Amino acid sequence: MSCFNVSTASPSCSHGAVPPCEAGTHHGRLDTARRLQQLICLASVVALATASGQAPTWNPHSNRPLEKYDNPPAYIYRLESSPRKISPYGAFISYQVNVDANGNNIVGDAANECTISVDPTNTSKMAIGWRQFNSVTSNFRQGGYGYTTDGGVHWTFPGVLENNVFRSDPVTNSDETGTFFYLSLLQTFCENMYRSTNGGQSWTELQADGLAGGGDKEWFTIDKTNGPGHGFQYQSSDGADCDNSGVVEFQRSTDGGVTWQAPIAIPNQPTVGTLDVDTNGNLFIGGEGFSPFYCVRSSNAQFGNQTPTFDQVTQVNMGGELVFGGAINPGGLAGQAFLAIDRSGGSTNNNIYMLASVEPSGRSTTDVMFARSTDGGLTFSAPLKINDDPVNPSKWHWFGTFSVAPNGRLDAVWYDTRNATNNTDSQLFYSFSTDAGATWSPNVAVSQPFNPFEGYPNQNKIGDYITIVSDATGGNVAYAATFNFNPNRGQHEEDVYYVRVFPGGQKATPTPTPTPTATPTPSPTPCDSGVIVNEGFETGSFPPWVIDGHTNDPVVATNFVHSGTFSAFAGGNPQQNTYCEENNNEPLGDSSFYQQFTVPAGTSTLSFWHKDCTNDSISFDWQDAYITDSNGNILQTIFHLCDTADWTNQTVDMTPYAGQTVRIKFLVHQDGFNPPGDTTGMWVDDVQLRRLHLLQLLRRQRRQPPPLPPQQQLHRHLLPRPHRGLSPPRGVVPLRHPGPDSRGRSDPPTPRLRRTSQ
């Protein structure tokens, strides 16, 4: 699929008369390749329309660049300040980033289009780049940047990359060593790459102005694998390019962003989208081409002695189209396309994910839509809507973006008007997924509402995008909002903010804690509490276990046991003597059972053994274990998998649920595919709740020897050491995620939406 023909011929346009440029609508879609030369045509139309008193309209078939130099630098007569904005919302706190040298808000400026980078070696260090407008009376913008060393609570804004130099479309990234990079667009539609080795406190320009190539709405990524392309940088742009080709292009740097090789046309021209690299060094580019979205692969870009080629092009259904000039952001996009790859090393490793705020057919507003590939980009799932409010043609879900955590969790954020009676005031919303995007957590608002129409810096938009970077426990978000009120203008200002999102609530960026050097206290051995009744199903029946999934009913089995005579089995079709044998009698639905109990005070651990069998993939069948509340609402997903494995021990730390009444629940789902049938099942045995017995702990403490007399301290290494008990069991085993479908069915049924782990 690498063969394609791209013409670089461009239409001409007379300067002496109004060209025959097609008039479009104000609400346009980015559904064709742009041509830079058509900007001249559009400028002529705008001039004529202005002269005649008519408002210019956006032509969706024109090549109007989203960024252009249209105002000279503005002279700043004064810079007033006010206290920086700290905006709490429930458990979440947003901190203003674009502040002056004293940490105060700069009155009269504007800032938007913010991208964040995090030092993976010290997540308290972050940097954000943005478009800095020193005065809202001018459209002249520069490359603003700020940094933090305390996890985003305080930010320093040293200034712009170059004073009085037009810069736009800031994109930042970091490599695995914590070196930051900043790609910035000049008024020529050429770029510069900057590098920072001190956490974003200062930046070094890596080449003379404009020699990084590129173009409008550029994005770049870094190869962080251990393969031959390690450290390579890749970028793409939207067709208004440095070389005036008018074609969506790709460029590569093999020396850390210093020099950039000649641009190469990308098949199907995926524009306004991002890039990422899988663990095998394959490069993927996602974006919207001629109306459809595409995912394009280059498997040889990682080889420095080869000219990159694109050997795979896949059309992706995102459930709609990108929007430019929509009512929510009149002068800009309602969102871009984002592509990211799972590099967790687990069962979801190298999954490819795409997310975008798109306008579905028949609508004039946008939803946040998601699609994934589990087979290296050959195929993608049907689009899934992440915003969980009912479909409302008046509500906007815009500027959607996401990232993949090192442990495979997906974090998504976007602007949302669902709570606004005027359908325009927006809040930042958050959702996460722990099952590779099959289901998403209930959406939560993480910011105060703000009016996106205020504080425009002589242009009618609040930028074109926001960004997030995830770590093992949460996500770091850079976004623009209008929380600060400017009394001189009687309206709010556009500023850049940082907020940390986290499944279940706000938590600070984790800070490494020094390991204590004192002699460890012996750990008591957990003992069976007896809270779980009939824990080995040795009564030969289920009670007090409760069967709540009846397709088909779970059974007490004897064919496989971990200990004793009996175990429990869910799934399959045991009523017709089928456990995981192929008898063309697979049912459709859930087979599940649970037991409810109260978690005792103190430290406790739930332990059980499970044996799994399947002839299917997780897209259709699955084996699950949960901790739920007494109403069946999921508090924790212990695992979600589709596996064949011998007896495996699973442990869950129950200490956080001390004093609560909860359930341990086991579930097997089958999709009823017959023939040939692909039954899935799970045996469960030896379910125990083990806790540290207080009396046992006290006895162990009493057995510790008294402190040595001072004269013996020097020879204490010669004395017998106290007995060291067994360590407490470890916590929850990481989730196992969906893998590729092995059956070739094109439209897998969507699993039931369920709450995910908090």
The whole-model pTM stands at: 0.62
Provide the percentage of residues in the chain whose pLDDT is more than 90.
66
Strand order in the sheet with 384-385: 337-341, 352-358, 367-373, 384-385
Q: d(Cα 435, Cα 757) in Å, to the nearest integer?
A: 10
Between 257-266, 518-527, 626-635, the lowest mean confidence (pLDDT) is in 518-527
Condensed to tens digits (0 to 9), the pLDDT of residues 651-696 reads 999 998 998 999 999 999 998 887 666 789 999 999 999 876 433 4
Average pLDDT rounded to a whole number, residues 327-346: 96
Longest dimension (CA), the chain: 103
3-state secondary structure of 170: strand
Across 220-228, average pLDDT: 96
- pLDDT above 80 (res 234): yes
Nearest-angstrom CA–CA distance, 744 and 273: 28
Query: In the prediction, which pLDDT does 498 show?
Result: 98
Q: Other CB atoms closer than 10 Å to residue 743's CB: what's the count?
A: 13
Predicted confidence at residue 619, as pLDDT, reads 78
Residue 544, preceding peptide bond in cis (omega within 30° of 0): yes
Give residue 196's identity as a one-letter amino acid code: S
- The chain-wide mean pLDDT, for the chain, equals 82
Distance CA 203, CA 141 (A): 18
Q: Give the CA-trace dihedral at 295, 299, 302, 303, to 10 degrees.
A: -150
Q: Region 105-110: what's the mean pLDDT?
A: 93
3-class secondary-structure state, position 143: strand
The answer on pLDDT for 525 being more than 90 is: no
Q: How confident is the model at residue 530 (pLDDT cuts 50, 70, 90)?
A: confident
Percent of the chain with pLDDT over 70: 78
Closest CA to 500 of 126, 67, 13, 45: 126
DSSP assignments along 344-410, one per residue: SSSTTTT-EEEEEEEB-TT-SS-EEEEEEESSTTS--PPPEE---SPP-TT--EEEEEEEE-TTS-E
pLDDT in tens, 446-465: 999 999 999 999 889 999 99
The pLDDT assigned to 539 comes to: 87
List the one residue out of 233, 267, 229 whose CA is nearest residue 251: 233
Q: At residue 44, what are phi and psi to the nearest 5 degrees?
A: -65, -40
The 10s digit of each residue's pLDDT in 280-305 is: 999 999 999 867 999 999 999 999 99
Residue 114 has a pLDDT of: 97
Average pLDDT of span 267-273: 94
Least confident of 26-30, 165-169, 211-215, 341-345: 26-30
Distance (Å, rounded) from C-alpha 483 to C-alpha 758? 29
- What span, in angstroms and rounded, lies between the C-alpha atoms of 677 and 671? 9
Is residue 72's pLDDT more than 50?
yes
- What is residue 698's three-state secondary structure? helix
Residues 6+ positions from 263 with CB-CB distance below 8 Å: 213, 241, 242, 243, 245, 249, 250, 251
Predicted confidence at residue 581, as pLDDT, reads 82
Q: How far apart are the first and last CA of the chain?
A: 43
Residue pair 184/235 in contact (Cβ under 8 Å)? The answer is no
Task: Say which range, 7-21, 77-91, 181-195, 581-595, has the weakest mean pLDDT.
Answer: 7-21
Distance separating alpha carbons of residues 469 and 375, to the nearest angstrom: 24
471-491 pLDDT, tens digit each: 999 999 999 999 999 988 899
Q: Contact at 8 Å (CB) between 128 and 82? A: no
Instruction: State how far the Cα of 377 lies from the Cα of 379, in Å rounded to an integer.
Output: 5
pLDDT grade for 70, boundaries at 50, 70 and 90: low
Is pLDDT of 32 > 80? no
Q: How far is CA 536 from the centre of its chain?
A: 41
Look up residue 475 and give its two tokens: 């996500």
- What is the reported pLDDT for 355? 98
Looking at the predicted structure, is the pLDDT value of residue 706 above 60?
no
The pLDDT of residue 505: 64
- CA 453 to chain CA mean position, Å: 27
CA gap 430, 475 in Å, rounded: 10
Any idea which residue has 């996009």 for tokens? 333
Better-predicted residue by pLDDT, 733 or 648: 648
Q: Please tell me the predicted confidence (pLDDT) of residue 321.
A: 95
Average pLDDT over residues 568-579: 89
Residue 97 has pLDDT above 60, yes or no: yes
Amino acid at 116: I
Report pLDDT for 411.
Answer: 98
Amino acid, single-letter form, for residue 491 = Q
Is 341 a residue whose pLDDT tops 70?
yes
pLDDT digits (tens, 9 = 90+) for 132-180: 999 888 889 999 999 999 999 999 999 999 999 999 999 999 999 999 9
Does residue 66 surpass a pLDDT of 70?
A: no
State the amino acid at position 235 in one-letter form. Answer: Q
Is the model's pLDDT at 726 over the cut of 60?
Answer: no
- pLDDT for residue 415 is more than 70: yes
* pLDDT tens digits, one per residue of 356-409: 999 999 999 999 999 999 999 999 999 999 999 999 999 999 999 999 999 999
